[in-house]
Amino acid sequence: MAGLTILEVQTRIFVAPERLRATVAYYKALTGGRCSLHFPFPERALELAAVSSPEASFLIIAGAEAALAPFRSTALTVLVADIEAVAGRLVPLGATVLQPVTPVPTGFQTRLRHPDGLVVEYVQHTAAAERFRNPTL
């Protein structure tokens, strides 16, 4: 069985809204990376920014504690080339689908629990993500 085409793995960081910019600056300085994506997600009362580098990538999720609470159990965001392949490849290996493929502002996402208990969000960016790329954060 071939593996998934993984484009990037992002560790999730959860912060209060007023800490977003300082947290982005910190992870840019830490990694020498850049803010590769920044977008509001008003439907969930969140604002997200990604810091990407060859060594490490982070997804900073800002919101009030009540808005962040449903997302805290998800440890990683994995960007993939084909969201439809995720469940088909991972369920036979023992993963459980927690959320089916769902549209999000940047494309599509799904969440799975791996056999070891790790909860991972898988995301496929589409052309919709382009409007959020290369922010000035």
Quote the number of domains for the chain: 1
1 — pLDDT class (breaks 50, 70, 90): low
Q: What percent of the chain has pLDDT over 90?
A: 95
- pLDDT tens-digit series, residues 54-75: 999 999 999 999 999 999 999 9
Q: What is the mean pLDDT of residues 93-115?
A: 97
pLDDT at 3: 78
Give CA separation, 117 vs 9, 54, 66, in Å: 18, 27, 23
Q: Is residue 1 in some structural domain?
A: no
Token digits of residue 56: 């490490």
Picking from 24, 26, 28, the residue whose alpha carbon sits closest to that of residue 38 is 24
Domain that holds residue 76: 6-132
What is the pTM assigned to this prediction? 0.92
4 Cβ neighbours under 8 A, 6+ residues apart: 78, 80, 81, 82, 85, 86, 89, 90
- CATH number for the domain including 87? 3.10.180.10
